A and B are shown apart, each in its own frame.
Chain A
Amino acid sequence: MAEIELKDVSFIYGAGQPYEIRALDHISLTIGGPAVTGFMGHTGSGKSTLVQLLNGILKPSDGQVLLDGKDIWAEPKKIRDIRFRVGLVMQYPEYQLFDETVRADIAFGPKNMGMSKEEVDARVLEAARFVGLDETLLDHSPFDLSGGQKRRAALAGVIAMRPEVLVLDEPAAGLDPGGRREILTRIRDYQRASGSLVILVSHSMEDMALYCDRVVVLSHGKLLLDGDCASVFSQYETLLDAGLDVPQITYVAAALARYGIDIGRDVYTVKYAAQRLSEKLGGGAS
């Protein structure tokens, strides 16, 4: 599995201008190992900036971004190769659809990689299957699709490049709960099937709890918390101070603790809470 390392990375927007903003402040972080890593933070915490550094859309003002131990900016002319290896799905990716058919749009990435026509076609079908896009839709105009289908088509456009690292910035934003679940489940299934590294950015604590193995919390451009879901969500005072939230069930657990039923602070899914509670109360697990 690929590994991304950030070494003391800072990023400043509009350096030297009247409105310069320090979006990231000396971040050091290694992402590998656990399959799905979640980035979390309040609006303006720097998470979108961070993901754009991972594939060289932005260049760090200071520090290094390493992919498998190699600085991605070592050869600036070959940054395109990095972008094929680290696929980035930006926020509201459906606004980047442009081609006449969904098929041609998904093929844009693989074509830029210089693949043969047969290979491109195979990749398009494979990517469409992963995101659950019906094959009959491939010859429609992307602008005739529904919102959820557009989102999936845009996602397929990146997955078709078979990146070693798939970075998704709020992939479920603006979708209804059903659409959310479906797209996030598909992303997790894609991770399991392809063995690639997935990085997910989200505000939603419930999504983080359900789909991520590791959670990284940013606040005002700095690293606030880093660890598995249980250890991050158990520090909910810190999260609340950072303008974030914790899953509803963590509140319930905290309230129960106040009434003398302590099932632990590291409860973040309903299933887990039910299990702990039944253990505590000595009943059967149901």
Chain B
Amino acid sequence: MNLDITFGQYCEGDSVIHRMDPRAKIIAVLLYIVVIFLAKSFAAFGLLTAAAVVLVLLSGIRPRIILHGLKPLMFILLFTVVLNIFFIKGTTLLFEWAFIHVYLEGVFNALLIALRIVLLLVSTSVLMTYTTTPIALTDGLEQLLSPLKRIHIPVHEFSMMMTIALRFIPTLIEETEKIMNAQKARGADFSTGSLIQRARALIPILVPLFISAFRRADELATAMECRCYTGGEGRTRMNVLHAHARDVIACIGICLLGAGVVLLNRFGAYMLSW
């Protein structure tokens, strides 16, 4: 089993994007997603692709890492492309055989949808996960949501839970690998047999995994109590977030990008149907 996951991993660096305020990044990503969904013409997608390239260059993340992160997406991409090519009806017939009709519009649609998915993934991961530590991310989220405290939603507790969950993902992956190896050493077989046999083969992994997860949670709770953790009430921060000019500029930049996209939508020879 391949447990190396590049998508969503933090890549250390010191670029402009790394240094942005996490709150600004969250807002920027939300705006960016809206902008990507606004784009409908080839010209607009061209602009967005250029913007994504600029984003990658600014972040200083090696393109190879980003390409590696796209790998798990291949199946979804292929699926949407095939679906669009064969099921979109248009006016210019390209190819016809029995019940299969391929229209030019379908091919265009497939290309643009695939591009949309890739752009979504690349720009959100460059803006957020590759360049922001999970801690900074939940910190930013907590502060953005802090107005909700007024209506008694435990924002701090939620963000603490999220931080802890994120923190323990690599630990759990490592633990799973260790346990799998230990059971493999005793001849466990996870890859052959009927579906039921394979499901049963997971028991020797899941039981130890759950036990250690509970044990870890218990130990963590004790450790936090030993350091007098009582929740968010009256808690001050070690890293106080400051918004800089660059954060405002980034958000304005994305709004301008959105305006550009809307404008370019008017000059498209072909428009995406959805």
- A residues with CB within 8 A of B: 14, 17-18, 52, 55, 57, 80, 83-84, 87-90, 93, 95-99, 108-109, 112-113, 143, 157-158, 161
| Interface of chain B residues 35 through 91 with chain A (CB within 8 A) | 62, 65, 68
- A96-B186, A98-B208 are known; give 11 further A-B pairs, CB within 8 A: A17-B4, A18-B62, A80-B189, A83-B186, A90-B182, A96-B179, A96-B204, A98-B204, A99-B207, A158-B186, A161-B186
7 tightest A-B contacts by CB? A112-B187, A98-B207, A96-B182, A109-B186, A88-B185, A98-B204, A57-B181
Check B187–A97 contact: CB distance below 8 A: no
Contact of A93 (CB < 8 Å), options: B62, B65, B182, B203: B182
A55 CA to B181 CA, complexed, in Å: 10
- B residues with CB within 8 A of A: 4, 6, 11, 62, 65, 68, 178-179, 181-189, 203-205, 207-208, 211-212
Check B178–A90 contact: CB distance below 8 A: yes
Check B187–A95 contact: CB distance below 8 A: no
Q: A17-B68, A57-B181 are in contact. Are A113 and B187 (CB under 8 A)?
A: yes
Check A112–B181 contact: CB distance below 8 A: no
- For the residues of B in contact with A, the DSSP-based class is helix
A17 CA to B187 CA, complexed, in Å: 30
Contact of A112 (CB < 8 Å), options: B4, B6, B188, B203: B188
Identify the closest chain B residue to A163 (Cβ): B185
Nearest CB of A to B213, in Å: 11
What A residues does B183 contact at CB under 8 A? 96, 108
Identify the closest chain A residue to B178 (Cβ): A90
Identify the closest chain B residue to A114 (Cβ): B187
What B residues does A80 contact at CB under 8 A? 187, 189
Report 20 cross-chain contacts, Cβ distance below 8 Å, ordered by A residue: A14-B4, A17-B4, A18-B11, A57-B184, A83-B185, A87-B185, A90-B178, A95-B179, A95-B182, A95-B208, A98-B205, A98-B207, A99-B207, A109-B187, A112-B187, A112-B189, A113-B187, A143-B211, A157-B186, A161-B187
Contact of A96 (CB < 8 Å), options: B62, B187, B203, B208: B208
Identify the closest chain A residue to B6 (Cβ): A17
